[in-house]
Amino acid sequence: MPEIYNYCLIIVNVLSNHSIYSLAHAEASFPTFISFIPILMKTFAAKLLDSKQRNENEDGNETATNEAQSGTVTSQKWAYISAIQYLLKGWSIVLQNAQFVKELTGRWFEGYKMTMSIISSFMHAIFSVPFGEREEISVPLPDREIFKEILVKIGLFSSYFFGRTLPKIFTILAETVEEFLSTMETHVTVEDLNMWRENMHWILLIVGHSLVEEDDNHNCIFQNSILNYYENVVTREDNDFSTYASYIKACIDEPQDLTDPSDVDLVIK
């Protein structure tokens, strides 16, 4: 564990402290080097999931032995979170220089596919089925602060592939809301309801970080990629903004009727 953790630190230090253009001298070794980021991300996300569930399963045991074990699990969890933060920081540098990396590595570098692999690894650790593998309800913690750096990076990654990541995020949000509406018509257990609330909690955090960012004064503003997207939307001759108003009104008046009109763009939805 310490060796792998230190390797994550080495990755981000190499990418942060050296111009990525100087890494071209590594030639064939460079693709192998950055390919470790998605692989390690998947490993640490799985370990984070395991540590969360072990910590939750031990909750309530007050013996000295269990307290010591719980403390070890907690320290491991923070180590996994730190390792993930290092990996995401390194990957953000890769994406910032994606064009150069692609020219250097040829067809090998699939930025979108590798980025989605990284995001999916984290989502599998925090979501329950059908979007993830979490089996227990998280102990109430300020997730917005604990995972702030990770969520900010995921939002940043989404902005690089806005046209493809936003539909995926909207699909998860729509299916989560649809699940809630359908369960209201049948018997639902408190456990199921809590699991749904936990999933909704995380999807809203991801949606928020995908749409907005903080400026220098810590004010939330739309990401530049979204503003650029809307600039293109406004200039389209076939755009009918009247459909947006009616869609928003329908969501307010009849929220139980989940609709997905094709003439309303995803940000509005």
DSSP secondary structure of 28-43: THHHHHHHHHHHHHHH
Interatomic CA distance for residues 85 and 81, integer angstroms = 6
Under a CB-based contact definition with an 8 Å cutoff, are residues 128 and 42 in contact?
A: no
* Choice between 76 and 81, residue whose per-residue pLDDT is larger: 81
Interatomic CA distance for residues 32 and 160, integer angstroms = 22
Q: How far apart are the first and last CA of the chain?
A: 43
Give the pLDDT confidence score for residue 55 in this predicted structure.
57
Considering 90-94, 199-203, 218-222, 227-231, the range whose residues carry the highest mean pLDDT is: 90-94
Interatomic CA distance for residues 180 and 168, integer angstroms = 19
Helix H or strand E encompassing 213: strand 212-214
Give the pLDDT confidence score for residue 177 in this predicted structure.
84
Under a CB-based contact definition with an 8 Å cutoff, are residues 214 and 252 in contact?
A: no
Q: What is the pLDDT of residues 101-151, one digit of tens each?
A: 888 777 668 888 999 999 999 888 888 766 666 666 555 557 778 888 999
Under a CB-based contact definition with an 8 Å cutoff, are residues 144 and 205 in contact?
A: yes
Q: What is the dihedral of CA 220, 225, 229, 235, to 10 degrees?
A: 90
Both tokens of 52, joined, read: 């969360």
Chain mean pLDDT for the chain: 79
Both tokens of 147, joined, read: 């995972």
pTM of the model: 0.79
Give the pLDDT confidence score for residue 52 in this predicted structure.
60
DSSP character at residue 18: S
Under a CB-based contact definition with an 8 Å cutoff, are residues 224 and 233 in contact?
A: no
- Domain ranges in the chain are 1-52+66-125, 236-268
Q: What is the average per-residue pLDDT within 205-213?
A: 89
Q: b/e per residue, 2-23, with b = 16+ CB within 10 A?
A: eeebeebeebbebbeeeebeeb
CA 18 to chain centre: 27
Within 120-184, strands assigned E span none
222 SS3 class: strand
Give the pLDDT confidence score for residue 168 in this predicted structure.
85
Q: Residue 93: is its pLDDT beyond 50?
A: yes
- The single-letter code of the amino acid at 118 is I
Q: What is the average per-residue pLDDT within 59-81?
A: 63
Give the pLDDT confidence score for residue 130 in this predicted structure.
64
CA-angle at 165, arms to 163 and 170, nearest 5°: 100
Tokens 């995401």 belong to 88
Q: What is the pLDDT of residues 4-35, one digit of tens each?
A: 778 888 889 988 888 888 876 776 788 888 88
Sorting pLDDT into bands at 50, 70 and 90, what band is 88? very high
The size of the chain, in residues, is 269
Give the pLDDT confidence score for residue 62 in this predicted structure.
47
Q: What is the pLDDT of residues 240-254, one digit of tens each?
A: 777 888 888 888 888
Interatomic CA distance for residues 159 and 15, integer angstroms = 21
Q: Residue 59: is its pLDDT beyond 60?
A: no
Under a CB-based contact definition with an 8 Å cutoff, are residues 148 and 214 in contact?
A: no
Q: What is the average per-residue pLDDT within 45-69?
A: 60
Of 79-88, 183-192, 197-206, minimum mean pLDDT range: 183-192
214 SS3 class: strand
Of 43-57, 89-103, 190-204, minimum mean pLDDT range: 43-57
220 SS3 class: strand
Give the pLDDT confidence score for residue 64 in this predicted structure.
45
Give the pLDDT confidence score for residue 218 in this predicted structure.
81
Give the pLDDT confidence score for residue 37 in this predicted structure.
92
